[in-house]
Amino acid sequence: MTEPAGGADTVPGRREVREAAKRRRARRGVLVSAVSSVLVLGGLAAFIVTRPGWENVKATFFDWDAFKEAFPGVLDGFWIDIKLFVIVEIAVLILGLVIALSRTSTAPALFPLRALAIAFTDIFRGVPTILIVYLVGFGVPALEDPSLPSDPLVLGGIGLALSYSAYVAEVYRAGILTVHKSQQQAAMALGLTRIQSLRFVILPQAIRAIRAPLLNDFISLQKDVALVSILGPQEAFRVAQIDASSTFNYTPLLAAAFLYLCVTFPLARIVDRMQLGDSRGQRSRLFTWRP
């Protein structure tokens, strides 16, 4: 069969036209986004700086000299936040997984453990985190038991771990339930025990599905570490609060906010990338036909 004249150039030509059209649309989209962003942000900035009290706000919240003076002390307190965040995060990952496995168990002998797990998640998800930190921080020392911790930083970390473990346990449980039962049945048919199938088949798939929700919870945890300040530890927010109350200038609070953003902003971008990658993977699996 004779190939049509110019057939070798027809397909590449069409492909080049489509690519050129995509590039034009992309450039137009970037231009529209830039113009709209300038208009919105410029309008908002103009509205703020033209308010009658702007000079007072500028002197109270945006004093560069006060920022430089308070920043070293706030940074020292922020390292306490980071250390506490890392320790609590590890505890939450372990405790949340234990609670989730308890809730998803079906063995009749484990019913008391399952009931305790349900009560734990219901209670600690229903009570505000700041109230849990307050109750643990002041309730445990009131027992006057020398075997119990009395350091307010440790007690605050325990309160955060209890609260966030309830949320993370439900994230784990949702991930486990997304894995079809046939996966465990197939693993056991290959000779794996229930524990082995859970470890090597179920949990890897479940954790892959919940990476983004887990990171979202840890972004919230990184911010809520500041709640331990109600117990007295000199972490970033507490240091900034003391500086602000002594000078009646609230710029140190912006210094603390800046440090929190330095951690939460990269984590938020990682979450976005994970969600985008997962959605692309789902679309590719949906539209890819395999005989």
Distance CA 135, CA 155 (A): 10
Distance CA 179, CA 190 (A): 18
Q: pLDDT tens-digit profile of 15-70?
A: 788 888 888 888 888 888 888 888 888 888 888 888 888 888 888 888 888 899 99
Assess contact for 95 and 167: CB atoms under 8 A. no
pLDDT value at position 11?
52
Nearest to 74 by CA among 222, 287, 253: 253
Instruction: Enumerate residues 6+ apart whose C-beta is below 8 A from 74.
Output: 236, 239, 240, 243, 252, 255, 256, 259
Q: Which amino acid is at 163?
A: S
Instruction: Enumerate residues 6+ apart whose C-beta is below 8 A from 125.
Output: 166, 167, 170
Q: pLDDT tens-digit profile of 126-155?
A: 999 999 999 999 999 998 888 888 899 999
Lowest mean pLDDT across 7-21, 43-57, 181-195, 246-260: 7-21
Architecture per CATH, 83-234: Orthogonal Bundle (1.10)
Q: Which helix (H) or strand (E) holds 207?
A: helix 203-209
pLDDT band with cut points at 50, 70 and 90 for residue 283:
low
Q: What's the predicted TM-score (pTM) here?
A: 0.80
